[in-house]
Amino acid sequence: MVSIITCTNRQAQIDYVFQNFQNQLWEPKELIVILNKDDMDINKWKEKAHRMKNVTIYQKPEILTLGECLNFGITKAKFDYIAKFDDDDYYGPYYLRHSMNSFKQTNASVVGKRTAFVYFERENVLALHTPNYENMFITKKLLGHYQLVKGATLIFKKKIFERVQFKKIHQGGDTQFIKDCLAHGFQFYSTNKYDFVQIRRSDLSSHTWKEKEESILKRCQIVSRTKDFESFVIKKPNDLIQ
């Protein structure tokens, strides 16, 4: 049972946020959306939410940090697993299934993706970022830093919220959350690369992750030049294959 939490300050992402939720072939699930900008029109979000089940919309003052919004969303979650969805990345139909299978197969408290697809819109390039870290427990000792899994792919057992919350900071909140989880002895598992794509938009100034694309590509393997990345990244889990 999964509670998806998406925080956004961009009205233009409304269709994308709901589509990522509807994509998920997993039940039961719920979506909690936190609008984090004062001039966003919450009524448009609520109107769209009324057409779906298990979707709730909240609005918090934009002075609050992302971490504070996520913590608020977790307090509203009904289910035992929390999935953090970003408002601008792609979550394929089996994304939750792959992640929940990892929980079943391991005793990890947090799962995510260290190896993940990245799509560069400007060049229509699909690449694989930091390959060879799939289906394995992942540690700071292994990587040499605290960015164990990508923040957009964090899924964790809700019970760890009793000991670890997101910090009230504007940048680096995911990394700090991971660091705090490790300090409390929680294990991290990196699942497979499928059914998730980190989107690098043509407008580079719109990204929180400001690293230049040339630098990112140095840590990637090029998969294809394509306008149809979905055909490369969607994979039915083994437990669904007859």
Residue 158 sits in a domain of what CATH number? 3.90.550.10
Query: Does residue 6 lie in a domain region?
Result: yes
- Is 13 within a domain? yes
Q: Which of 26, 34, 161, 142 is nearest to 87 (CA)?
A: 34
Sign of the alpha-carbon torsion through 108, 178, 173, 64: positive
Residue 99's H or E segment, with its range, is: helix 95-105
* Structural domain includes residue 98: yes
**Residue pLDDT, tens place only, 109-151:** 999 999 999 999 988 999 999 999 999 999 999 998 888 999 9
228 occurs within a structural domain: no
Reference 178, options 137, 226, 139; nearest CA is 139
Residue 200: inside a domain: no
- At 208 the pLDDT is 56
What is the β-pairing status of strands 90-91 and 81-84? unpaired
> Is 138 a member of any domain?
yes
Q: How far apart are CA 161 and CA 73, in angstroms?
A: 11
In the chain, the number of structural domains is 1
Per residue in 184-202, pLDDT (tens digit) is 999 999 999 999 999 987 6
pLDDT tens for 50-66 read: 999 999 999 999 999 99
Whole-model pTM: value is 0.93
Q: Is 218 part of a structural domain of the chain?
A: no
Q: Which domain holds residue 93?
A: 2-109+134-193
At 176 the pLDDT is 95
Residue 231 lies in a domain: no
**Cα–Cα distance for residue pair 7/181, rounded to 1 Å:** 21
Residue at token pair 């918090």: 60
